[in-house]
Structure 1
Amino acid sequence: MNAPQVSRLTQTFETHAIDNTMFGHREHVQVAYDLLLKYDFIDAAAVYAKGIRALAENAGAPDKFNLTITYAFMSLIAERLARTPAESFDRFVSDNPDVMRKTVLEQWYSQDRLHSTMARGIFLLPSAA
């Protein structure tokens, strides 16, 4: 079986050659989507987290990397793909418009927990209600 084609954006991301000023939320979601099609979850999450961390470091802002946000978004996208596979990224976004909101994780996490120092370094589970 051939590996799925990934976007040029994701190819550039994987080589750590991406311009962080051109890497907004939509690009984050697209790369996560592509990596989940290319790799199993464990490998996709590792490639994604390492790439996002490298982006923050290359931008001179290593404190902007947040492991909880990174893994939570990756998990959300993976779950949506498992439930309803999409034939393209655009279709995935059309079927899951909430993933395009940066605040989507706030239905599971408080602002304080999600943006805490601890959340930057380790993956935190959502708070118990």
Structure 2
Amino acid sequence: MTSPITHAFEAHEIDNTNFGHGEHVRVAFDLLNKYDFIDAAAIYAKGIRALATKAGAPDKFNLTITYAFMSLIAERMSRAPADGFDSFAADNSDVMVKTILNRWYDDDRLHSDTARGIFLLPTAA
């Protein structure tokens, strides 16, 4: 079942001041349940970019962060399907932490200008 926030996201009616990390994860989860990965990732990235632009901060959009989170959430969903978002969030509490990508990405690489415009793979450890 798609949540009201995801309906609002898809309609481009989200209030970005109330759209924190948990809401980002919820929308990603819903979109991945509704669409295949390619479509969900494209809808999500375009929506997040539109939100940043609407907020007057288009430079805050980061394609690497967006696609890395979508990939991580999709992988977790495929490994252990959840009964719903609350179950998913409880079973994957680390995904609910905004800095989880620091496990795989150096901060300079993740927040670089290049990472904002194209998807960067994590560097080898």
- Shorter-chain TM-score above 0.5: yes
Cα displacement string for residues 12-40 of structure 1 (whole angstroms, at most 9, x for unaligned residues)? 00011100001000000000000000000
Counterpart Cα distance in 2 of 1:43 and 1:77:
15
Letter in 2 for 1:42: I
Q: What TM-score, normalized to structure 1? A: 0.96
> Counterpart in 2 of 1:55?
51
Alignment RMSD (CA, Å):
0.4
Q: What TM-score, normalized to structure 2? A: 0.99
Secondary structure of 1:18 counterpart? coil
Letter in 1 for 2:80: T
Could you list the runs of 5+ residues in structure 1 that have no partner in the other structure? none
Could you list the runs of 5+ residues in structure 2 that have no partner in the other structure? none
- Aligned pairs for 1:1-129 within 5 A: 5-129=1-125
Percent sequence identity over aligned pairs: 73
State the 4+ residue runs in structure 1 displaced beyond 2 angstroms: none
Counterpart Cα distance in 1 of 2:9 and 2:64:
20
Name the count of aligned residue pairs. Answer: 125
Cα displacement string for residues 51-102 of structure 1 (whole angstroms, at most 9, x for unaligned residues)? 0000000000000000000000000000000000001100000000000111
Letter in 1 for 2:36: D
Letter in 1 for 2:59: D
